[in-house]
Amino acid sequence: MTTSAPRPYKPYRHHKFLTIHTAPVSCVKFSNDGTLLASSSLDKTLAVFSAQNLTLVSHLVGHSEGISDLAWSSDSHYICSASDDCTLRIWDARAGDCVKTLKGHTNYVFSVNFNPQSNLIVSGSFDETIRVWEVKTGKCVHEIEAHSQPVTCVHFNRDGSLIVSASHDGTCKIWDVETGQCLKVLIDDKVPAVSFAKFSPNGKFILVATLDDTLKLWNYSTGKSLKIYNGHVNRVYCIMATFSVTNGKYIVSGSEDNCVYLWDLQAKSMVQKLEGHTGAVLSVACHPTENKIASGGLDGKIRIWVQD
Amino acid sequence: MNAPIIDPLQGDFPEVIEEYLECGIMKCIAFNRRGTLLAAGCSDGSCIIWDFETRGIAKELRDNDCVVAITSVCWSRYGHRILVSAADRSLTLWDVITGEKITKATLQQTPLLARLHPGSSTPSICLACPLSSAPTIVDLNNGSTTALPVVCEPGTGLVPSSRNKFSDGSAPFTPSAASFNKYGDLIYLGNSKGEILILDYKNNQVLGVVTIPGGAIIKNIVFSRSGRYVVTNSQDRIIRIFENLLPLKDGLRALNEISESIEELEGSDKLKAVGSKCLVFLRDFQDTINKVQWKVTCCSSDGEWVVGGASIKGEHKIYIWDRAGYLVKILEGPKEALIDLAWHPVHPIVVSVSLTGFVYIWAKDYTENWSAFAPDFKELEENEEYVEREDEFDLVPETEKVKESDVNEDDEVDILTVEKDSAFSDSDMSQEELCFLPAIPSPDIPEQQDKFMGSSPKLADSNHSEYPLSEEAQQNGHAMNNGSTPAEGLDNSIAEDTGGTCLKRRRKPSEKGLEMQAEMVRKPLKKISSGKSSKLKNRFAIERDTTSFCAYDDDDDGGDDDDDDNDDDEYE
């Protein structure tokens, strides 16, 4: 319980926008050390920028189809991208060359993440499976028949022992990494589709987005939903949401009404709506240490918002 | 982290071989503190560090000067250093992260066992137990050695000071076993007369003696991970467990206090009295039927189970007892002799090394927890009488009309604090622990990508559904031939590995696993895992981008992947 008066909310303002992509931007992510920002797009390329001055560091070309998701390794050296050409590619972020290609999925790869130790990669695909890959050799360690419809999101927890997966079949499941077994099913309603799921920084809670304009925070061990965040529009696209913890705790999400929404984590009230995009905002990312938000969407531009 | 949702009721010891690792001929193994890395010493002088999570090689420590077999490996406390002892009488200290040799010492005799001082993260002293003389303390910085007293003179309690002579005339070629206690301030040494000597090695003084009835030569002496139990393996084929009564942190001081408090006794009586206050005999374990000679013994990580490894008639056998003395399990492995054994520090996993150089990983036999698929399903241990509510069969039951959420939505949710891992509560995190070696993806070799042959030898029997075979390019074929060493079985990543050593991973299903697989047909397995009983055919469209319209057809189950079809062909 807070005994001191809550800090007045300082609004974010638009800082800059980056136009490098010629097609919608599907994902933006800051590296763990905060020095780089990567973006992936349907124009089949990824771009890496310096987070400080937003200059282009490298442009990663190689996929033959559009890219849906990207992930940074913990040491901020490697990026893994998930593409519609059914492969994943591991890139050296600064040098810009593709180090490895992971083949195995039989349909679009939609979501990818490294584990905290960065020796494993988990990927979710339209072929309804989740695959866990070993980074060093590129071998597929597990192939899990996870869902009955496309898998929309996969994420490791804080110590890399669990994977949460979300799918259009309306379920959100938790898997054990070591054995590939399903440990728990968090949601099992057939509608609405679950478009996004992510562990909280301490691994105890899962933020889940469903295609009925709702974001929920679940305690996965009790299986109860604790908080609900509303106000945005999310019916069609798999929009990413994230936690902002650098200056107070907030939930940040994109929306189909072209805005970025921020909610207070505890109070569930919407604190700000960032306008500026001219298309649905598909992805948002928070800088690990600074009060900076990056967003990308259908208009193909990446916008940077800072807090004064 | 996942403790709340994993069923705690299953017995906590391994049951079947889950997998085996092969790379060269491995001789001895050691886990790091958290069990994330496994170091294995090979017969060609190199030490391989396996990443236990991915079951792949993380690093290889190779010394070009040393080409003889490694006799033991030991991690430093936080995993930054590894001490390797080899058959050419050398002790080498490696830095794990850089893979560089830090220092090398040569002893007079081949050390069978070498242990780094467990108290510090950059230890400079280690304990070496040579083949045929007293255990010595080796200072790694200057290579000096100090022999430890192996016997204490009866009557006088004095200690012979000479190095290789035994003044009571005991045979000079009997090896003695020794071990540091948990924080390294004392050494517990088991000698050839069946006595455990508690030594203050800094002053080279015997402080206490515990006699084992029967007086058989003590071959191994090990501490449990918590430091509370001591397990000995003796020549009389009995494994004994003792409880360590000394406090863990300041054992030496407590021992000195006990020593001072017993004033009325002198000499060896005094030592025995002190000894009895430090170690208390709890129980012995043996195989009464076969009178098996134990090769290795150790304790489980939580001290609940005592493990003895033996090779009877060239067979791989691991006996597991609980601390009360009951034999709970005998793990039988392939017909290869067992030479080393280790229990994982955290999980109920046992790793054993066989004479042929394979490392077998024993784990619990995982059965799919089907009730996990229903979110509000509760598993019951036994039948519970169900008493129905008054309005159970009403058209609109009272209780359902009022749907209250029993969770206070205004409660604060803490997303940042991390709970401390209770298993490692004794760690003082003054030093950063090395849990993982950075995984650098080995670059693809371009021509290999197209060359992959589509048919890798298929299984005659399928393994667990979690590790299915896949026909796609770049996928490894986990080819499994029952029993004998798989010779073919193209593992595509082998072709890509730039390393010279051949690395193969195979999984051997247990008998039980095979039976279970025979019962469970694969197709329903897929359906069940999807949570529905029959797949609905629906045209599904997802728009993630406006430029390309992706329409996804939910095809009929039978013709879905190549996997499925091929598996059906082979599957009986």
Inform me whether the pLDDT recorded for B178 exceeds 80: yes
Partner-chain contact A136 B468, CB within 8 Å: no
Instruction: Specify the pLDDT at position A35.
Output: 93
Mean pLDDT of A252-262: 93
> B201 pLDDT band (50/70/90 cuts)?
confident
CA B350 to chain centre: 5
What is the spatial distance between Cα B59 and Cα B47, in angstroms, rounded to a whole number? 9
With CA atoms as reference, the chain B residue closest to A251 would be B415
| pLDDT (tens digit per residue) in B275-293 | 888 888 888 888 888 888 8
ipTM for the predicted complex comes to 0.75
CA B232 to chain centre: 19
Inform me whether the pLDDT recorded for B518 exceeds 60: no
Q: Is the peptide bond before A192 cis (omega within 30 degrees of 0)?
A: yes
Go through A188-213 and write b for each residue having 16 or more CB atoms within 10 A of its CB, e for each that does not. Answer: beeebbbbbbbbbeebbbbbbbbbeb
What pTM was estimated for this model as a whole? 0.72
Helix (H) or strand (E) holding B26: strand B26-31
Partners of B369 on chain A (C-beta within 8 Å) are: 181-183
What is the spatial distance between Cα A69 and Cα A81, in angstroms, rounded to a whole number? 6
Q: Is B276 helix (H, G, I), strand (E, B) or coil?
A: helix
Inform me whether the pLDDT recorded for A88 exceeds 70: yes
Mean pLDDT of A86-115: 92
Which range, B143-147, B235-239, B488-492, has the best average confidence (pLDDT)? B235-239
Partners of B8 on chain A (C-beta within 8 Å) are: none
Instruction: Specify the pLDDT at position A26.
Output: 94
Partner-chain contact B416 A23, CB within 8 Å: no
With CA atoms as reference, the chain A residue closest to B36 would be A117
Q: Does A170 touch chain B (CB under 8 A)?
A: no
Contacts of B384 (CB under 8 A, 6+ apart): none
With CA atoms as reference, the chain A residue closest to B370 would be A182
Instruction: Specify the pLDDT at position B409.
Output: 63
Contacts of B393 (CB under 8 A, 6+ apart): none
With CA atoms as reference, the chain A residue closest to B19 would be A179
Percent of chain B past pLDDT 70, that is, above it, reads: 66
Which of A65, A73, A137, A140 is best to mutate for the B interface (most B CBs within 10 A)? A137
From its phi and psi, is residue B65 left (phi > 0), alpha (psi between -120 and 50) or beta? alpha
Contacts of B340 (CB under 8 A, 6+ apart): B27, B28, B29, B295, B296, B309, B352, B353
Partner-chain contact B542 A168, CB within 8 Å: yes
Partner-chain contact A104 B470, CB within 8 Å: yes
Partners of B496 on chain A (C-beta within 8 Å) are: 137-138
| pLDDT (tens digit per residue) in B358-408 | 999 998 877 777 777 777 777 777 888 888 888 778 887 665 554 445 556
Inform me whether the pLDDT recorded for A157 exceeds 50: yes
Q: Return the number of other C-beta atoms located less than 10 Å from residue A10's C-beta.
A: 13
What is the spatial distance between Cα B53 and Cα A161, in angstroms, rounded to a whole number? 10
Partners of B473 on chain A (C-beta within 8 Å) are: 103
Partner-chain contact B472 A103, CB within 8 Å: yes
Residue that the structure tokens 């054990």 belong to: A176
Fill in the amino acid letter for B189.
L
| CB nearest to A145's CB, from B497, B529, B547 | B529
Which of B19, B466, B556 is best to mutate for the A interface (most A CBs within 10 A)? B466
Partner-chain contact A118 B407, CB within 8 Å: no
What is the spatial distance between Cα B350 and Cα B14, in angstroms, rounded to a whole number? 7
What is the spatial distance between Cα A122 and Cα A126, in angstroms, rounded to a whole number? 14
Partner-chain contact B545 A249, CB within 8 Å: no
Q: Does A96 touch chain B (CB under 8 A)?
A: no
Residue B562, phi then psi, degrees to nearest 5 = -65, -35
What is the spatial distance between Cα A198 and Cα A156, in angstroms, rounded to a whole number? 8
Whole-Å CA distances, B93 to B125, B143, B236: 11, 12, 35
Inform me whether the pLDDT recorded for B527 exceeds 50: no
Q: Does A168 touch chain B (CB under 8 A)?
A: yes
Mean pLDDT over each residue of chain A, to the nearest integer: 90
> B152 pLDDT band (50/70/90 cuts)?
low
Whole-Å CA distances, B196 to B131, B234, B269, B562: 19, 11, 14, 63
> B419 pLDDT band (50/70/90 cuts)?
low
Q: Would you say A290 and A264 are in contact if contact means Cβ atoms under 8 Å apart?
A: no
Inform me whether the pLDDT recorded for A129 exceeds 70: yes
Q: Return the number of other C-beta atoms located less than 10 Å from residue B393's C-beta.
A: 8
Inform me whether the pLDDT recorded for B497 exceeds 50: no
Instruction: Specify the pLDDT at position B143.
Output: 77
Partner-chain contact A188 B1, CB within 8 Å: no
Percent of chain A past pLDDT 70, that is, above it, reads: 98
Mean pLDDT over each residue of chain B, to the nearest integer: 70
Q: Minimal Cα–Cα distance from A89 to chain B, Å?
A: 11
Q: Does A136 touch chain B (CB under 8 A)?
A: yes
Partner-chain contact A227 B409, CB within 8 Å: yes
Inform me whether the pLDDT recorded for A43 exceeds 70: yes
